[in-house]
Structure 1
Amino acid sequence: MTEIEKIIVKFLNKEANHSELEKLEELLQNDEGMHVFNSFVKTQYLSTLSMTEYDLNNAKESIKSRLRKSERAKKINIYKRMSVAASVVLVLGMASYLLYNTSMVNRPVGKQQPHLIVTGTDKAILTLENGDEVALVKGKKFQTGKVSSNGEELVYVDKERSDAIVGEQSYNFLTIPRGGQFFVKLSDGTEVWLNSETKLKYPVVFKDGMTREVELLYGEAYFKVSPSTAHKGAAFHVLTKSQEIDVLGTEFNVRAYNNDQIMATTLVEGKIRIKRGKIIETLKPNQQAKINHNSDNIDIGEIDVSQEISWINGLFFFNEKPLEEIMIVLSRWYDTEVVFENAKQKYFVFTGILERTESVDDILELIGATSEGQLQFEINDKTIIIK
């Protein structure tokens, strides 16, 4: 990597010092230099996200703006490195980045009350077999003879160490509210990550020799299933309101929210069979099955799984998503309502990768920075108003 390429990388990561910014500004004074800058960024970064060409003039203005400042503004790092399989992808929401620290970012977001809309966190409601409910939150421990929690995860006793099941199988429910997420390790060793506004039903202990079966009543869950070879060949099934998933030791994501028209099942590793009525389809890794509730078909397509499972890595991954879909995702995580005063704003398209730990104000500011003045956000109590 040449010296100028190193400086470009440092600029994109907001790490370039004053002298390095001067060199970069000098580079952009002629067409050849602009071509070098443009080609390097597009080749090394934008191609990974299939993003469109950014506005180079904004990059120039950003450099000049930073050179004029005697003190660096507080950094807001909206990117992180995310490992997907064996590769590491440098995540860049380029449009947001190149506009940040320009006059557009200084545009007010509107009335802000960040103390009312808070970032999501680990929390859940555990419903025991006798109907009792336990609130699971950070800093609060819970333990019985079969399950324990430190407030951030729920772990069931390995079935080999539990008492033999007598009579009917007993079930627990784990409910994740809006603004929450949680992790549970079932008695067979299967690991499940649950997203906001999700409910899972599962046995306290799986019976030997019987199919291991859980039910995703609604919401989104990522499963890392303990293989059948470790359980005397017992298969693992995931039921939803519209399909049955037959699992053979694998990792996959299921998104089945009540108010979503389409349910999506994405395979990361292994093999699964999806059944909807008499229709049966088998998924390969990096494929997604979509089921429209108004149709009996199962549509299979290739997909970048890193986008679909970004939430378990603490990220929002939006690739040319309309604002209406984006706000549904954000409303679940930040437990807020959304109002579009101008229906046309629902179709504004945004691409970027943002951290779920960011405040809702920062997320809205970064989305707004790419809209060239098209979007105006206002926060009123726990409602986001888009004008």
Structure 2
Amino acid sequence: MNDIEKIIVKYINQEANYSELQILEKFLRNKNGIRIFNQFVKTQYISTLFMVEYDINKAKTSIKSKLKKGERLKRLRLYRGMAIAASVILMFGTAFYFVSSGYQDNINKVGKENHLIISGTDKAILTLENGDEVVLEKGEQFQKDKVRSNGEALVYDKKQNEVVSQQQYNYLTIPRGGQFFVKLSDGTEIWLNSETKLKYPTAFMEGISREVELIYGEAYFKVLPSTEHKGSGFHVISKYQEINVLGTEFNVRAYNNDDVIATTLVEGAIKIQKENITETLKPNQQAIISSKSEKILVNEIDVSQEISWVNGLFSFNEKPLEEIMEVLSRWYNTEVVFENSKQKKFVFTGILEKTESVDGILRLIEATSENQLEFEINGNIIIIK
């Protein structure tokens, strides 16, 4: 292994020092260096790449401390492939694109009107039991009776020795470009993704099963066990399934425009029911239910991929561009237009921060597409050419 290959290995493993990063950056300033870099990565790392665990914050801190001020080198891994193609391009870090010959052109094309599209933030609409609506936004305070919010979270307090004779319900609606956190009166914690609506009691009655309804969207639940609530179970209703929870952490994705519901178990145990069919999930399993099928499909998965949004990340593992753009459109509140249906089948893998600008993400995708994709932003519409 020659010196440059050793530096590439150290760079991928986040062990390269400042001098080595300078050498690598200089090496990648010509086409031959880029070719050697890509070829080495393809042959040496393609089979093991996805077994590597990355620490976003640690990588950002170490890389930024080693690079000159103003350089934006992030720990990202992103490759582009087509369903019908055998070749794969792997690229690591935004700095790689700075030394690519077409990067400046990509900035001009994609970022032309990027000021119209901003990253999502904490916001929601709370609908009270009397029908009144309260807009919750970051930095805004709200308090009424047992519920309070600092604009980033909504918390329901349970009064000591309180007896609930009749349940009253609130709704929390998360718009496109939003996210929010709610803690229910029983201590259950729920993270709500963009374009989501949840119905839940303001307080729970003793001796009756605790029940909430995910009307649509995506939510991550952390439910306290029934042993802490005098045996009262916890149920989540969503579309055409019901989840019986004994005390656990799990994610439910049930958007209106999705034909399937995906329920992923992180910890504990849950029982999923569709009509007369039931399945019990174990950790690291995902249940898929379709409106067109009577079966409940259970698969072993990497749960970190599914719940990355809770930790402020986009994590795509061999996902088609159509699905990726659907996720991005919810978070950045945009519309997406494909000029060619074949573009929808392009497959990408990558980990990106949700705080990244949309044009930055589009540039990363465009730069790895071998000139087969071009993005244009017109107002709040992303056009893929």
The TM-score range, normalised by the shorter chain, is 0.7 to 0.9
TM-superposed CA distance for 1:18, in Å, is: 4.2
Structure 1 runs not aligned, ≥5 long: 51-70, 80-90
Cα 1:20/1:100, change in 2 over 3 Å: closer
Cα 1:330/1:227, change in 2 over 3 Å: same
Q: How far apart, CA to CA, are the structure 2 residues paired with 1:332 and 1:14? A: 36
Q: How far apart, CA to CA, are the structure 2 residues paired with 1:37 and 1:279? A: 50
TM-superposed CA distance for 1:295, in Å, is: 1.4
TM-superposed CA distance for 1:320, in Å, is: 1.0
The question of whether the paired residues in 1 share the 8 Å contact of 2:110 and 2:363 is answered with no
Aligned: 1:337 with 2:335: yes
Q: Deviations over 1:360-380 (max 9, x none)?
A: 000100011110000010000
Q: Partner residue of 1:63? A: none
CA root-mean-square deviation: 3.0
Number of residue pairs matched? 348
Cα 1:44/1:313, change in 2 over 3 Å: farther
User: What SS does structure 2 have at the residue aligned with 1:330?
Assistant: helix
TM-superposed CA distance for 1:22, in Å, is: 3.7
The question of whether the paired residues in 2 share the 8 Å contact of 1:198 and 1:217 is answered with yes
Matches within 5 A, 1:1-387: 7-8=7-8, 11-12=11-12, 16-18=17-19, 21-22=22-23, 38=41, 42=45, 46-48=49-51, 74-79=70-75, 92-93=77-78, 95-97=90-92, 99-101=96-98, 102-108=100-106, 109-110=109-110, 112-158=112-158, 160-161=159-160, 163-166=162-165, 168-387=166-385
User: What SS does structure 2 have at the residue aligned with 1:255?
Assistant: strand
User: What SS does structure 1 have at the residue aligned with 2:206?
Assistant: coil
Aligned structure 1 segments of 4 or more residues deviating by more than 4 angstroms: 3-7, 12-16, 18-21, 23-26, 33-41
Name the aligned partner's letter for residue 259 of structure 2: Q
TM-superposed CA distance for 1:180, in Å, is: 0.2
Q: How far apart, CA to CA, are the structure 1 residues paired with 2:189 and 2:284? A: 20
Q: How far apart, CA to CA, are the structure 2 residues paired with 1:173 and 1:34? A: 52
Name the aligned partner's letter for residue 184 of structure 1: V
Name the aligned partner's letter for residue 76 of structure 1: R
Q: TM-score, normalised by structure 2?
A: 0.82
TM-superposed CA distance for 1:41, in Å, is: 6.4
Q: How far apart, CA to CA, are the structure 1 residues paired with 2:209 and 2:114? A: 47
User: What SS does structure 1 have at the residue aligned with 2:77?
Assistant: coil
Q: How far apart, CA to CA, are the structure 1 residues paired with 2:5 and 2:133? A: 57
Q: How far apart, CA to CA, are the structure 1 residues paired with 2:144 and 2:205? A: 20
User: What SS does structure 2 have at the residue aligned with 1:140?
Assistant: coil
Cα 1:364/1:284, change in 2 over 3 Å: same
Name the aligned partner's letter for residue 77 of structure 2: L
TM-superposed CA distance for 1:305, in Å, is: 0.3
Name the aligned partner's letter for residue 100 of structure 1: Y
Q: Deviations over 1:266-301 (max 9, x none)?
A: 000000000000001110100000011211211111
Q: Deviations over 1:59-88 (max 9, x none)?
A: xxxxxxxxxxxx958333443xxxxxxxxx
Q: How far apart, CA to CA, are the structure 2 residues paired with 1:184 and 1:325? A: 27
Structure 2 runs not aligned, ≥5 long: 54-66, 80-89
The question of whether the paired residues in 2 share the 8 Å contact of 1:378 and 1:386 is answered with yes
TM-superposed CA distance for 1:312, in Å, is: 0.3
Q: Partner residue of 1:55? A: none
Q: TM-score, normalised by structure 1?
A: 0.82
The question of whether the paired residues in 1 share the 8 Å contact of 2:8 and 2:24 is answered with no
The question of whether the paired residues in 2 share the 8 Å contact of 1:286 and 1:304 is answered with yes
Identity of aligned residues (%): 60
Cα 1:229/1:4, change in 2 over 3 Å: farther
